Chain A
């Protein structure tokens, strides 16, 4: 019996360590989270021509996303409707059809079954091919980012993203012609629960100085002062973090967008040249974000660092293991040299051999596998940092925390985690749309703080 109210305690800001370990909780996650949420599949820049395909996963299900001959994007399950073998075994490519290696069944780029060998002689022409296409997946794009969803009753992608879309627009369409993803993705195995990196990216500004002490010391620059938590920094004035309706969240370090990049002449120039346009198009509050460094998770398992520009998906492989896929974000309008510079720097910092990436893995593996201990996992994890120092903000939607070092977005992530794991249907989730932020009761936090700041400014 899974009791979500016990596993996630919103009053105490704790989570049971069982959420990183138990098989029955994981099984329910596959059903209620990976089976019902929009999951990142690919970027349209990877799927330009008819027949372009990309092979990926939704939860543990193999899925192919493909540009159909009519120009639309399709996604379907990579498993033949005859006896279940895969119909695609390449990472990506261009094809007119998908042919099963087992008996030669052929599917079109819309997933429809178009040929069955020996159909007349052996099936006696008595097979309804129209009912035997590959199981299809809902596909929608947001600013070129393609997502899939198994649940017909889930809200449209734009509604699932909600306020997150307002923030994403800052860099997805704020400058020039938008962005694209550079692949092919790096892929690696990390023996941790999928939520450990998801929660880390959604709101863990706290670990940066300590976990990444070595890399920050080596890199120096704007964030060098964070190394080892040595510098005395006014954290409440260096950025914010935000959580939203469906668990998406992010933290921003002000004016640090490109701080992790060592070679950055082209990138710095691009940012400088595009900022005035972003301010004009998106307004001052978002122009400020445009120059910040973001750590983010789109619920449930798609995380990225805007600024550093690494873009990741955490594919679950059981409760204790994930596959990490990493792409790089670049602006389409950048010159080729700048794009190459960003791809190199993003991979150098947060790729499989990254100077910062390499700091994180051990923490995530141990935070998972320590829970093999029955007594260990009978305890809870804590995410109370900054409780009360958060609330609605006049400029920024969602619930906004006082600093990028805080756990507002952790709390928001697990709030929605509890809700979707408990809810029988999307209707039950929709019914709570107006109450979701009740667990962040300090509604006047920003009103009071900004008033105090204004007053201090007058004096």
Chain B
């Protein structure tokens, strides 16, 4: 599902467009406009995936995790939508008062693929959540996306999220990455 190959790098203009798209995405998410994000920026065939990555010895020949293995996120569109819907119920006590979640998206590298309208895009993130009085957590990692050009922008068709930390230093990861 995530085997789409990256080919040559995109043009400066396209790279600019993709980067702007990521900033807009971050703005929607940090403003809590989850429905707008879902409707405008997420493709119906999304695979939204955060595998569990063990600490293994270099010589360990076992294969990398696949979407058939244990994962923290392993969602299709309806499942991402359920996460969004839960946040809209008004009974997520933890989000009242709401958390502040800040997205720093960097190191954007975009590549053409076999398909004219699809691009493989790599990026790094630092996502910082502050809530309650002193509660502070940081999640650092990278994303490998397949972005699809649509009429009025881009939509996310694949997102593989890799966290750098083996042990999540937070009470949960109910955050969109």
Chain A residues near B (Cβ < 8 Å): 89-95, 182-191, 211, 213-215, 217-219, 227-228, 262, 323, 327-328, 336, 340, 343-344, 347-348, 351-355, 357-359, 361-362, 364-365
Contacts of A183 in B (CB 8 A): 52, 70
SS class of chain B's interface: helix, strand, loop or mixed?
A: loop
* Closest B residue to A182 using CB positions: B70
Complexed CA–CA distance, A364 and B89 (Å): 22
Could you tell me the distance in whole angstroms from the C-beta of B58 to the nearest C-beta in chain A?
10
* Closest B residue to A191 using CB positions: B171
Known pairs A90-B56, A182-B70, A186-B70; A352 contacts B75 (CB<8 A): no
* Closest A residue to B89 using CB positions: A214
* Closest A residue to B58 using CB positions: A90
Contacts of A89 in B (CB 8 A): 55
Contact of A348 among B75, B166, B167 (CB under 8 A): B75
Which residues of B from 69 to 91 have beta carbons under 8 Å from A? 69-75, 79, 82-83, 85-87, 89-91
Q: How many A-B residue pairs have CB under 8 A?
A: 120
Question: B170 at interface (Cβ–Cβ under 8 A)?
Answer: yes
Complexed CA–CA distance, A183 and B52 (Å): 9
* Closest A residue to B173 using CB positions: A353
Contacts of B87 in A (CB 8 A): 214
* Closest B residue to A92 using CB positions: B54
Could you tell me the distance in whole angstroms from the C-beta of B154 to the nearest C-beta in chain A?
24
Complexed CA–CA distance, A220 and B165 (Å): 34
Contacts of B175 in A (CB 8 A): 353
Contacts of A357 in B (CB 8 A): 172
Interface size class of chain B, counting residues whose CB lies under 8 Å from the partner chain = 35 or more
Complexed CA–CA distance, A262 and B173 (Å): 20
Contact of B89 among A217, A262, A365 (CB under 8 A): A217
Chain B residues near A (Cβ < 8 Å): 50, 52, 54-57, 60, 68-75, 79, 82-83, 85-87, 89-94, 166-175
Inter-chain pairs besides A352-B168, A353-B174, A355-B83, 10 sampled, C-beta below 8 Å: A90-B54, A91-B55, A93-B60, A185-B70, A217-B91, A262-B82, A327-B70, A353-B50, A353-B173, A362-B94
Known pairs A189-B170, A348-B79; A91 contacts B86 (CB<8 A): no
Contact of A189 among B85, B169, B174 (CB under 8 A): B169
* Closest A residue to B55 using CB positions: A91
Establish whether residues B82 and A343, one from each chain, have CB atoms under 8 Å apart when the complex forms. no
Establish whether residues A186 and B52, one from each chain, have CB atoms under 8 Å apart when the complex forms. yes
Complexed CA–CA distance, A351 and B91 (Å): 20
Contacts of A185 in B (CB 8 A): 52, 70
Establish whether residues B54 and A347, one from each chain, have CB atoms under 8 Å apart when the complex forms. no
Known pairs A90-B56, A348-B75, A353-B174; A184 contacts B70 (CB<8 A): yes
Contacts of A93 in B (CB 8 A): 56-57, 60
